[in-house]
Structure 1
Amino acid sequence: MKNQYSFIITIVFVFLSVSLQAQIKKIEPPFWWSGMQKTELQLMVYGDNISSLTPEIDGLEIKEVKKTENPNYLFVTIETENASAKNYTINFKKGEKIVDSKEYALKSRRENSANRKGFDSSDMIYLVMPDRFANGDPTNDSNSALTEKANREEQGDRHGGDIDGIIQHLDYIENLGATAIWSTPLCEDNDAKYSYHTYAQSDVYKIDARYGTNEDYKKLGSELHKREMKLIMDYVVNHWGVEHWMIKDLPTYDWIHQFPGYAQTNYRMSTQMDPNASEIDYKMCMDGWFVKTMPDLNQQNPLVLNYLIQNAIWWIEYANLDGFRVDTYSYNDKEGVATWTKAIMDEYPNFNIVGEIWLHDQAQIAYWQKDSKVGAIQNYNTHLPSVMDFTLHDAVTSVFNEENPSWDKGTIQLYENFVNDFLYPDIDNILVFAENHDTGRINQIYENIEDYKLVMTLMATVRGIPQLYYGSEIGMKGDKGKGDGDIRRDFPGGWEGDSNNAFLSSGRTATQNEYFNFTSKLFNWRKNKKVIHSGKTTQYLPENEVYVYFRSNENQTVMVVVNNSSENRSLDLSRFKENLKEAKQGKDIISEKNFSLEEKLEIAGKTSYIIEVL
């Protein structure tokens, strides 16, 4: 009898062990949608020792089950064409026995989801670092499941800003003239230190709990759309963080680039188009890790690439996104990131994606824009709609401090930047900016408001899509030399108890209001000016540090005058007859003064005009 009991207990124990070992811990994407253009969906299934299991789905065809060297993974490809939006049961079987079952939902898409309109040159993008903008919900500043806790006393620690803080201040952002928000990444980053920047993500399907929830992010998009504003997600294709759960249990050895283990990128992105580059330099730029805490994803592995494509599409569909800004775009595997980009644009033809191409040569930047003739020389097409104008940024951050203007120094640098516009296949669809979360603060570089106004005049009137970094509009400073935390200071008024609440006119100092009022006036004027969004640019060689250019279309002409000299200047307007034609008057939208355009135009030192030609 004793032996019988022992046998029964052993059988039960074995059964329970198999069941426990076979528990499915994750399925990603966590749900999907019916009616997508790409009908094949690859599910990443994760659990202890599940590779021996056979999945079955009643009502959906399983086209392929792929196993890897890690027995904790199954990659299950299903066909969703003509599949109804409903819950399906996935049974995981060992032999004929069902070991585990999971519900999987195909949801209904929003009406006209595929044809969503992305951000474009009619927009002004406001760049926010959520941890430093506003603390809308102090209860989520720290989280028991996440390592780093809030500590506002330290520059590089988490300070507690969150999604709710952004939502609470949408009136402020809208009044500023912004029509879109680009937030630095919000997905979970469980690094022990410096996690607030969130570029080393530990779960790419989950908003970091210290910012809020997935539903909170979805709400942010909804609240923006009520205002006819747009939401742009900062997406990272190149790397994850070392704390990502998949990095800790790699599906395949080559899920990341291994040397074995860590080797750092050389950061030399020019190797990616250099016909003379050595193979090792070319490889180390693409395959090397950005930093030691950010393992480099191998987009040559089809499983990795498909995972990233599906994750990006999932966020677009789930949060109703209007665009991506893609971090470190030109560090990715060239062919892999082009495939990733094309897959998204095929699914959403009117979407927009801007890539961070941090280079200092227009030909090298233009190489990365969709249908580039520069890229075509090497038979390469990224399919990337938009790139960032870093050469304009370079010029803007030096021109207005130039004490000895010369043949190649001063406002001529602005002129020469636009000379190379012919290199870009879509010049209106490039991002123009004076600064961002990685660069020096413009108000630190130029410490007086007069130079700030010159910079913003340019940002609001040149071709492309302007982007403003949070806080610049109230004169916020920050010294890159003191560390990234200093250029990512807390917005005053974003925390309870702040003595200065710059979100309110009544809470701003006189100087902060002067910055804000100028910026708001400029970008609210820009909102409905098609002549600025898509008009032709005609520029004139600077004379005596006065730079003049025109934006024009069939209906309107705008004359922009930027006097970078500290001296008053007098312009002979006969030089600009090509654009002024027979016009006799114009109105400056900044001062709201009317000017005669018949003979001479007087302009004070360090002053700009944006003149609507009447």
Structure 2
Amino acid sequence: MCYGKNIAEHDVESKTVTITEATKTENPNYLFVTIETKGVEPGEVILDFTKNKKIVFSQPYELKQRREGSADRKGFDSSDVMYLIMPDRFANGNPSNDSHKDTVEKADRSKPGGRHGGDIQGIIDHLDYLNELGATAIWSTPLLEDNEPIYSYHTYAQSDLYKIDPRYGTNDDYKRLATEMHKLDMKLIMDYVTNHWGSKHWMIKDLPTKDWIHQWPEGFRRSNYRMTTQFDINASKIDAKGCMDGWFDTTMPDMNQSNPLLLQYITQNAIWWIEYADLDGFRVDTYSYNDKEGIAKWTKAIMDEYPNFNIVGEVWMHDQAQMAYWQKDSKIGAIDNFNSHLPSVMDFTLHDAIMVMFHEEGNSWDKGMIRAYENFTNDFLYPDINNILLFAGNHDTNRINEIYQSDISKYKMAMSLIFTTRGIPQIYYGDEIGMLGNRDKKGDGDIRRDFPGGWPDDKRSAFVSEGEKQKTAGRTKDEEAFHAFTKKVLNWRKNSEAIHKGKLLQYIPFDNVYVYFRYTEKERVMVIINNNSEDQKLDIKRFKEGLENHKVGKDIITDNTIDLTENIEIPSRTSMILTLQ
């Protein structure tokens, strides 16, 4: 993509590479040049821009060397635990870049919706903390430049797709983050936004084509957010268009993925970032708001380039069949001849259940632990059930510990489920120390609080235990309890093949007690979650199929040994994770 005042008035030639096509649009400031790269060695390519067969100016373009084996890179999978960070709120490793001359909004930590100064260096500084916690992958919300005048900290309204926001650092810093993570066998996942750009993006200010974005006669029309219209066989065309072409917000122009030039631009940009920063995966924001045929082409192009890569799409729906529609090779999608080619989706229905079920008492037909059981009964709808993302909360939901009012027993039950059932678990930064936040009452800023100890002037640091030697105080007693549990389970999980790859065998919950097994030929794990306010005794004979003659289980949470030849007593509001022996 070549840009400049009236650049389309020129012809383009090259002595160093074959030009197969030069596409002009109604905007004379753009020229889209297609070159043949097969057989071309890495190095500098020169494009000559001519008028009347005379060279007016030349422009160098570098073809970079791919690292050896790049195409075979392995993405994240169910052996990983993904740690979600909002970089502006995690840690400020370089206070000198809190504000920047090239961006409008300046740092003001007093504003819940302002920029607080967290950055890439802050993440690098605390990689050991994350590694020791047991996280194996980091999903950071977007880091590319967002030059909106307010609320730019979330960075979903991007103003330059090839540039890290200078308040987070530089492109080199992002590459260095990946390098340092790979030294610890950790994976870096980029939050990629295909559905919309920011209103301050330089290309939005000077559109290459009128249909580069979705435009409406009245100027702005918000999406109706009804993603069901993408596959509803009874949907009106105007409603489907209202979802797909409507803008997510006033500052987020809706991109037209059916425009082949735009689709090529974001495809090449995505591949460029994978190569440049040596990425291990994408999380794609608002995946199901895109033009579905266009986003499928984008996804397929990346997965064809990197067959072992992984991409998880945000499909925020509340029905398993509707979410499964968006996973690669879905039989549901095949009904209307659609294949998204998207390897992974997010398990929002499990999240829905977790938000309420630990408040629910008694032996109910449809409340309490039966919600988890019923969620998994629909696993047959997914083409690849072990490649879906599980979470108790993220940057758009109320904090799990806010919902359960810092009740650590409920946190343990919820996270025992997330960490041991099928799929890829994701934990939201700060949940592991019991952080609170209520989006409904106090807005997004409340669920995106600063991590204690991430700023040089913080009075204490939750990155360290109270017993460690440091200038500031460490985790409180309550924070330490949350952290110790999370760390113990996650580090055990790193080495459990049954949890990574095993099948799921579940039992109908009785008396609000849920029991399931994860198993392979070599390993079996039994999970018991007693969501009852009273102690319970389990009839061990009922679980013969799952136990498969194992006599002893070790609870990895308490280190207690459990005799599996007699009935099991489990205390109220307790989870057990038993490795069978």
TM interval, short-chain normalised:
over 0.9
CA–CA distance in structure 2, aligned partners of residues 135 and 262 of structure 1: 37
Q: Does 1:178 align with 2:143?
A: no
Unmatched runs of 5 consecutive residues or more in structure 2:
467-473
How many percent identity over aligned positions? 65
CA–CA distance in structure 2, aligned partners of residues 275 and 302 of structure 1: 26
Q: Deviations over 1:378-415 (max 9, x none)?
A: 11000000000000000011100114652111110000
Q: Work out whether residues 361 and 533 of structure 2, in 8 Å CA contact, stay in contact via their aligned partners in 1.
A: no
Q: Corresponding residue for 1:484?
A: 444
Q: Corresponding residue for 2:521?
A: 554
Q: Corresponding residue for 2:63?
A: 106
1:287 to 236, 242, 245: 245
Higher mean displacement: 157-166 or 521-530: 521-530
Q: Corresponding residue for 2:336?
A: 378
2:165 to 183, 195, 208: 208
Q: Corresponding residue for 1:38?
A: none
CA–CA distance in structure 2, aligned partners of residues 320 and 456 of structure 1: 30
CA–CA distance in structure 1, aligned partners of residues 149 and 16 of structure 2: 44
Q: Which amino acid aligns with 1:265?
A: S
Aligned counterparts, 1:389-400, within 5 A: 389-400=347-358
1:417 to 375, 387, 396: 375
Q: Corresponding residue for 2:491?
A: 524
Residues 56, 196 of structure 1: CA spacing in aligned structure 2 closer, same or farther, 3 A cutoff? same
With structure 1 as the length reference, what TM-score do the two structures score? 0.92
Q: Does 1:498 align with 2:465?
A: no
SS in structure 2 of the partner of residue 493 of structure 1? coil
CA–CA distance in structure 2, aligned partners of residues 319 and 604 of structure 1: 48
Please provide the CA RMSD for this pair: 0.8
Q: Which amino acid aligns with 2:29?
A: N
Q: Which amino acid aligns with 1:449?
A: I
1:309 to 267, 282, 305: 267
CA–CA distance in structure 2, aligned partners of residues 350 and 195 of structure 1: 33
1:161 to 113, 118, 125: 118
Aligned counterparts, 1:238-317, within 5 A: 238-260=195-217, 261-317=219-275
CA–CA distance in structure 2, aligned partners of residues 520 and 183 of structure 1: 20
CA–CA distance in structure 2, aligned partners of residues 259 and 595 of structure 1: 65
Aligned counterparts, 1:81-92, within 5 A: 81-92=38-49
Q: Deviations over 1:322-354 (max 9, x none)?
A: 000000000000100000000000000000000
1:334 to 292, 296, 299: 292
Unmatched runs of 5 consecutive residues or more in structure 1:
1-43
SS in structure 2 of the partner of residue 51 of structure 1? helix
CA–CA distance in structure 2, aligned partners of residues 523 and 581 of structure 1: 26
Q: Corresponding residue for 2:530?
A: 563
Q: Deviations over 1:143-191 (max 9, x none)?
A: 1111100000000000000000000000001011000000000000000
CA–CA distance in structure 2, aligned partners of residues 188 and 221 of structure 1: 18
Q: Does 1:451 align with 2:410?
A: yes
CA–CA distance in structure 1, aligned partners of residues 66 and 8 of structure 2: 32
Higher mean displacement: 420-429 or 90-99: 90-99
How many Å apart are 1:581 and its aligned residue? 2.6
Q: Does 1:51 align with 2:11?
A: no
How many Å apart are 1:582 and its aligned residue? 1.9
CA–CA distance in structure 1, aligned partners of residues 363 and 258 of structure 2: 49
How many Å apart are 1:56 and its aligned residue? 1.6
SS in structure 2 of the partner of residue 394 of structure 1? helix
Q: Does 1:191 align with 2:148?
A: yes
Q: Corresponding residue for 2:546?
A: 579
Q: Corresponding residue for 1:534?
A: 501
1:320 to 274, 278, 288: 278
CA–CA distance in structure 1, aligned partners of residues 57 and 452 of structure 2: 52
Q: Deviations over 1:531-575 (max 9, x none)?
A: 001101110000111000000110111100000011110111000
Q: Corresponding residue for 2:174?
A: 217
2:108 to 122, 136, 151: 151
Q: Corresponding residue for 1:26?
A: none
How many Å apart are 1:89 and its aligned residue? 1.7
CA–CA distance in structure 2, aligned partners of residues 440 and 398 of structure 1: 12
How many Å apart are 1:97 and its aligned residue? 2.7
Q: Corresponding residue for 1:72?
A: 29
State the aligned residue count.
571
Q: Work out whether residues 214 and 246 of structure 2, in 8 Å CA contact, stay in contact via their aligned partners in 1.
A: yes
SS in structure 1 of the partner of residue 264 of structure 2? helix
SS in structure 1 of the partner of residue 378 of structure 2? helix
CA–CA distance in structure 2, aligned partners of residues 359 and 56 of structure 1: 49
CA–CA distance in structure 1, aligned partners of residues 122 and 547 of structure 2: 47
Q: Deviations over 1:117-147 (max 9, x none)?
A: 0000000000000000000000000011111
How many Å apart are 1:57 and its aligned residue? 1.8
